């Protein structure tokens, strides 16, 4: 029991570092960049509140657990902004390999049974195939859109994003599980990009 508890507490202490991983998006008031720990909390709140928008078959409780751990690998890898087109871009094989190593190290701090369970949940999120993972991914993509609308453009300004790029990089993912949310946001998005 003591060894098990020591491993769990070591993992929880290491997880604290996610609070120092900065994302490209800011808070709604644009006062500073958001970190990946508070982002994780916020998307969990999105998942709970928008539960009645979730497609049939989604288990929101599982989605909450998925979102709780979805960004932990960023402790080693950092956040990769979706609109940044650098050497290591979002979804590239180089990034995926680094994330796998990070998952090995971080979940490996836990007792083996928990390490396996957390890793399976993270793998499911990354694969984005099951209803729970698709809903979780849609939630994870729509929250930064809300932040950008509130803060005056945010990463759309920073990376010179067009309305078409937003649609292909983000809209196609959000609409997989949340078509009505995306349709609801469309007029505000059209207005913002028309002015930009």
Q: Does 175 bind a second copy (CB under 8 A)?
A: no
- The CA distance from 119 to 123, in Å, is 6
- The CA distance from 178 to 188, in Å, is 16
Residues 66-85 that bind a second copy (CB under 8 A): 68-69
- The CA distance from 72 to 175, in Å, is 25
Taking CB under 8 A as the criterion, the residue among 22, 84, 102, 146 binding a second copy is 146
**Which residue, 27 or 95, has its beta carbon nearer to a second copy?**
27
CA angle 190, 126, 169 (to 5 degrees): 20
Rg (CA), the chain: 17
How many residues make contact with a second copy (CB under 8 A)?
49
Tell me how far, at minimum, the Cβ of 62 lies from a second copy, in Å: 9
DSSP alpha helix (H) spans, 18-130? 36-49, 60-69, 74-77, 93-107, 112-127
Tell me how far, at minimum, the Cβ of 159 lies from a second copy, in Å: 21
Instruction: Identify the sign of the CA torsion 148, 89, 134, 171.
Output: positive
Q: Are 154 and 148 in contact (CB under 8 A)?
A: yes
Tell me how far, at minimum, the Cβ of 65 lies from a second copy, in Å: 6
Provide the mask over 97-136, with x wherever binding to a second copy is found by CB under 8 A and - wherever it is not. Answer: -------------x---x----------------------
Joined tokens for residue 3: 């060894």
Residues 7-66 that bind a second copy (CB under 8 A): 8-9, 11-13, 15-20, 27-29, 31, 34-35, 37-38, 40-42, 44-46, 48-50, 52-53, 61, 64-65
Residues forming beta bridges with residue 35, ordered by sequence position: 22
Please report, as ranges, the residues that interact with a second copy according to CB under 8 A: 1-2, 4-6, 8-9, 11-13, 15-20, 27-29, 31, 34-35, 37-38, 40-42, 44-46, 48-50, 52-53, 61, 64-65, 68-69, 110, 114, 143, 146-147, 150, 180-181, 184
């Amino acid at each position: 029991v003591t060894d098990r508890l020591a491993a769990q507490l070591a993992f929880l202490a290491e997880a604290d570092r996610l609070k120092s991983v900065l994302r490209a998006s800011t808070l709604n008031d644009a006062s500073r960049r958001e970190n990946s720990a508070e982002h994780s909390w916020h998307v969990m709140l999105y998942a709970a509140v928008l539960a009645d928008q979730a497609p049939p078959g989604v288990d929101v409780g599982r989605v909450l657990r998925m979102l709780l751990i979805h960004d932990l690998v960023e402790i080693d890898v950092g956040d990769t902004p979706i609109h940044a087109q650098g050497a290591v871009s979002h979804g590239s094989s180089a990034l995926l390999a680094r994330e796998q190593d990070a998952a090995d190290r971080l979940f490996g701090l836990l007792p083996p049974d928990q390490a396996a369970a957390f890793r399976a949940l993270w793998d499911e999120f990354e694969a984005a195939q099951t209803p729970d993972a698709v809903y979780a991914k849609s939630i994870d993509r729509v929250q930064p859109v809300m932040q950008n609308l509130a803060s005056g453009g945010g990463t759309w300004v920073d990376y010179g994003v067009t309305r078409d790029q937003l649609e292909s990089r983000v809209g196609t993912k959000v609409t997989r599980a949340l078509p009505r949310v995306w349709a609801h946001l469309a007029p505000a998005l059209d207005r913002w990009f028309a002015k930009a």
